[in-house]
A and B are shown apart, each in its own frame.
Chain A
Amino acid sequence: MKSKGARSFYLIPYYIWIALFVIAPIALVVYYSFFDLQGNLTLENYQNFFSSVYLRLTLSSFWYAFLVTFFSILIAYPTAYWLTKTKHKQLWLLLIIIPSWINLLLKTYAFIGIFGLYGPANKFLAAIGIGEQQILFTDFSFIFVSVYIFIPFMILPIFNSLDKLNPALMDASRDLGASSWMTFRKVIFPLTINGVKSGVQAVFIPALSLFVITRLIAGNKVITLGTAIEQQFLVTQNWGMGSTIAVFLILFMIIIMMLTGQREKGGSANGKTK
């Protein structure tokens, strides 16, 4: 009895935190989404969201988030696989993780320098005879920098799931006649899919609401839900519409979380049963 009371006592800071910083903001966002610019209660914002402008924006936001996630997986999976095979894997892992501790803005500014007209990237292109290119403010630079920013969050969960994989399973697969590719497809990938899903959650969801990179690297040529919210609040001062977009963003996040939710199918290493 006593211990139960003590436990709920220690939980109080947690509940306060959740109430103040999770529930209250969401409630406020939902509340504001029902008001127009003049402060009248209305459903107009929701109607507007389904207009072609916002639908196209949502679609484009999803498309870019998809591209960023896709290229992240493409690079992260082989990297993580290679990491599990190297000798000093913890050291290598640390080297990959460290950049993620550096402020996002700082890294983004660095890329402005690198990709700028007089930056090293263009110097290199000129040197190999391709000539100077407009790299900044293109889809390429946006995807490139986003992937760079997000990649540690994709590598880490994939690395963890690969590292936990029993190597005897790969031997078993080879033993039963599977080529390397078949072994990857039928054993390694299915057993590390949970790591990939965690990575997708960590990349796709934030990528939906990117706005620093869209502005600085893509020169606002790429507009995501994040950019739209920022514009509504800070430029148009239309808090109602901004909140409505935020409500949808939250909805999308919940849906993605559900889609990438981890289903235990006896697949866990600890052999847990349902």
Chain B
Amino acid sequence: MDTSIIRFENVSQIYDGAGPVLNDVSFELEKGKFYTLLGPSGCGKTTILRLIAGFITPTKGDVYIEGKKVNNIPANERQVNTVFQDYALFPHLNVFENVAFGLRIKKLKKAEVERRVKEALEFVNLKGYENREISEMSGGQRQRVAIARAIVNDPEVILLDEPLSALDLKLRTEMQYELRELQQRLGKTFIFVTHDQEEALAMSDEIFVMKAGEIQQSGTPMDIYDEPINRFVADFIGESNIVAGEMIEDYRVRFANKEFECVDQGLNPNEQVEIVIRPEDLEITSVSQGKMAVTVDTQLFRGVHFEISTIDEVGNEWLVHSTKKAEVGSLIGLDFDPEAIHVMRLNESEEAFDARLESYGAEADEK
């Protein structure tokens, strides 16, 4: 059985006059998964959703849904429903009629419409709100109506454009759980757009990190967090320490004026690289036991951990997340595993990056 549901082939989108909003984007999505498009505002996330929904046609390239090219199929004939950024609920219709809109268009029987709308509203915990006006619903409730209006049509794909960005933090976290659970219960493909990396990491099966109309990296949240392809991704996904370094030979890397053992290989000798170490992978220890000696600059208590900013002898800043307290101004040692060092080549393409990671895996299996 073919598991592919959506495919972009070299899609570019250019609005009149300006430069490309999407630049030669290709990807493939599988059925039944929770995908997230993550990237800063203006990078083209909404544009991708609009291409899938059919509100715009690609300037270049092709969009496929279930193996069928859909460039010229209008939005109303696509098996895709959208939860819009501002919900776009119809203000002249009540909750019931908003949810029933798609079913009425399909001219379903009255009893059938009633049954399915009730079911969808129950699904999003809005039982009993049928006769409310949209203006009488709170932000969180409107968002649920918007979701019900999409799922009631039983589409193969549901597109969600920053649906949680208007909600307050507590409600947002709650809705993250609910959305994820909803997707698993329905078993449909969700394509979720956000500029919030924590949200993306928490909810997705797979994340696409975007920048300026291009997909920088795709992979599971763990993959992307642990093995960012470049400085942008490393920076965008969580906090990280990024410093310049040099690959001496396989498994040996030099940064902060010292040589370290690492797990990366297959790079050119003496190649200039960037080194990423996550703050939680750095451990505070005594100067003698540490691999690196640093001076504590500032310290913030963050609840679960201390956020300690330190500076090494060549002036690199190292952010440390630690449950242990440090003395501001004191000299301390930092310890870390060879696996904690992540080496990034400059300007590496995603294919080359994946191939390189792949080879590490093969290497490890051989050992």
Q: A residues touching B (Cβ–Cβ < 8 Å)?
A: 166, 168-169, 171-179, 182, 186-187, 190-191, 265-269, 271-273
> In the complex, A245 Cα to B141 Cα: how many Å?
55
Q: Are A177 and B153 touching (Cβ within 8 A)?
A: yes
Chain A CB within 8 A of B292 CB: no
Q: Are B76 and A179 touching (Cβ within 8 A)?
A: yes
- Binary per-residue interface labels of chain B (104-141) against chain A in the complex, 1 for a CB within 8 Å, 0 otherwise: 01100000000000000000000000000111100000
Q: Are B105 and A269 touching (Cβ within 8 A)?
A: no
Q: Which of A168, A169, A268, A273 is close to B136, meaning CB atoms less than 8 Å apart? A: A273
> In the complex, A133 Cα to B90 Cα: how many Å?
51
> In the complex, A166 Cα to B87 Cα: how many Å?
11
> Looking at the complex, which of B78-86, B176-184, B312-320, B354-362 is the stretch in contact with chain A?
B78-86
Can you list 14 pairs linking A and B with CB atoms under 8 Å apart? Answer: A166-B86, A166-B88, A168-B84, A169-B88, A169-B90, A171-B75, A171-B88, A172-B90, A175-B53, A175-B82, A177-B76, A177-B77, A269-B91, A271-B91
Q: Are A175 and B75 touching (Cβ within 8 A)?
A: yes
Chain A CB within 8 A of B251 CB: no
A197 CB to closest chain B CB, in angstroms?
Answer: 14
> In the complex, A265 Cα to B77 Cα: how many Å?
31
> In the complex, A166 Cα to B77 Cα: how many Å?
22
Given contacts A266-B135, A273-B135, contact A177 B92 (CB under 8 A): no
Given contacts A171-B82, A174-B55, A273-B135, contact A267 B91 (CB under 8 A): yes
Chain A CB within 8 A of B74 CB: yes
> In the complex, A175 Cα to B85 Cα: how many Å?
14
User: Using Cβ atoms and an 8 Å threshold, which residues of chain A touch B321?
Assistant: none
Q: Are A177 and B102 touching (Cβ within 8 A)?
A: yes
Q: Are B86 and A168 touching (Cβ within 8 A)?
A: yes
Question: What residue in chain B is nearest A273 (Cβ atoms)?
Answer: B135
Q: Are B91 and A268 touching (Cβ within 8 A)?
A: yes
B219 CB to closest chain A CB, in angstroms?
Answer: 29
Tier of interface size on chain B? 20 to 34
Q: Are A168 and B88 touching (Cβ within 8 A)?
A: yes
Question: What residue in chain B is nearest A191 (Cβ atoms)?
Answer: B92
Q: Are B135 and A173 touching (Cβ within 8 A)?
A: no
User: Using Cβ atoms and an 8 Å threshold, which residues of chain B touch A269?
Assistant: 91
Chain A CB within 8 A of B149 CB: yes
Most A CB atoms within 10 A — which of B81, B89, B91, B153? B91
User: Using Cβ atoms and an 8 Å threshold, which residues of chain A touch B149?
Assistant: 176
Given contacts A168-B86, A266-B92, contact A271 B135 (CB under 8 A): yes
Q: Are B91 and A175 touching (Cβ within 8 A)?
A: no
Chain A CB within 8 A of B101 CB: yes
Q: Are B102 and A176 touching (Cβ within 8 A)?
A: yes
User: Using Cβ atoms and an 8 Å threshold, which residues of chain B touch A191?
Assistant: 90-92
A140 CB to closest chain B CB, in angstroms?
Answer: 37
User: Using Cβ atoms and an 8 Å threshold, which residues of chain A touch B92?
Assistant: 190-191, 265-267
> In the complex, A135 Cα to B22 Cα: how many Å?
58
Q: Are B91 and A172 touching (Cβ within 8 A)?
A: no
Most A CB atoms within 10 A — which of B74, B75, B106, B134? B75
> In the complex, A272 Cα to B135 Cα: how many Å?
7
Identify the 4 closest CB pairs spanning chains A and B, nearest first.
A176-B102, A168-B88, A266-B133, A172-B88
> In the complex, A265 Cα to B134 Cα: how many Å?
10
A173 CB to closest chain B CB, in angstroms?
Answer: 7
User: Using Cβ atoms and an 8 Å threshold, which residues of chain B touch A178?
Assistant: 76, 101, 105
Given contacts A168-B84, A271-B91, contact A176 B105 (CB under 8 A): yes
Question: What residue in chain A is nearest B161 (Cβ atoms)?
Answer: A168
Q: Which of B86, B106, B134 is close to A177, meaning CB atoms less than 8 Å apart? A: B106
> In the complex, A174 Cα to B84 Cα: how many Å?
12
User: Using Cβ atoms and an 8 Å threshold, which residues of chain A touch B135?
Assistant: 266, 271-273
> In the complex, A189 Cα to B333 Cα: how many Å?
70
